[in-house]
Amino acid sequence: MTFQLLTIPCLSDNYAFLLHSNGKTAVVDAPEASPITNALAEKNWTLNEVWLTHHHHDHTGAVKQLRVETGAIIRGARADLRRLPALDIELNDGETFDFAGSDVHVIDVSGHTVGHIAFYVPDASAVFSADSLMALGCGRLFEGNAEQMWHSLSKLAALPPDTQVCSGHEYTAANAKFALTIEPENSALQQRAEEIAAAREKGRPTVPSLLSLELETNPFLRAGLQSVKDALNMTDESDVAVFAEIRRRKDSF
């Protein structure tokens, strides 16, 4: 199955993603209507579905307009039903649904919010993680706790390394600066930081990123490594405790 994936910049630093295969098109999150509809027109694609990861307005603000203009069906988490726009199809953690002849796996990734979900499409080698796992980062713990987020990130980290991580914001340059305070001697991280700076200077998105690269460089995925624990003087602490400390440091960075 052949998929086309487009990264759509929206608002000041958000991303939506268009996924197209077999004559069908879905958008993951809908921060702003015009960039999405412009991309659809440019490709001559018809929007069939909107997949929502969580309720925050910068991920759902254009849903009503897209529904009116395209008639697309709206999918989102049943666990967050009361805070999402009106859904046509409610989804539960662990469910699989069909899109364009391919399976889409629904994964609960609570932490940033409670009820946040990710969409994993094996045939596209892509996971749409929004504000859970992000490029060189993870979302702030607005509603969940460190244990929840670590569990969520661990599920995503277990996906195939060649999975594209389609996250929701262009925060990567700032995340790189912080990551270097955790692992300043990480050569892969040093190289990635240079590549990010060059990409942003040219106005290019740094999203999506490969999961294999996140595993090498993202401090929030690396909290369980002994080298990271030692660097933080947390040698005997649990993985969750180390993750929580990294998140605390990022919040005040």
**47-83 core/surface letters (b: 16 or more CB in 10 A; e: else):** bbbbbbbbbbebbbbbbeebbeebebebbbbbbbeee
Say which of 29, 55, 108, 112 is annotated catalytic.
112
Give me the catalytic one of 55, 59, 80, 116: 59
What whole-number distance in Å separates Cα of residue 8 and Cα of residue 221?
A: 26
Question: Catalytic pick from 29, 80, 131, 239?
Answer: 131
Choosing from 20, 55, 116, 169, the catalytic residue is 169
Residue type, 86: A
> How buried is residue 238: exposed, middle or buried, by Cβ count under 10 Å (0-12/13-18/19+)?
middle
Active site residue 131: yes
Catalytic annotation present for 59: yes
Known catalytic membership, residue 54: yes
Choice among 20, 54, 55, 116 that is catalytic? 54
User: In 173-198, which positions are buried (b, 16+ CB within 10 angstroms) versus exposed (e)?
Assistant: bbbbebbbebbeebeebbebbeebee
Cα distance between residue 43 and residue 62, in whole Å: 20
H/E segment holding residue 156: helix 146-157
* Residue 151 annotated as catalytic: no
Of the candidates 56, 80, 108, 239, the residue annotated as catalytic is: 56
Active-site residue 230, yes or no?
no
Cα–Cα distance for residue pair 220/245, rounded to 1 Å? 10
Question: Catalytic annotation on 112?
Answer: yes
User: Catalytic residue positions?
Assistant: 54, 56, 58-59, 112, 131, 169
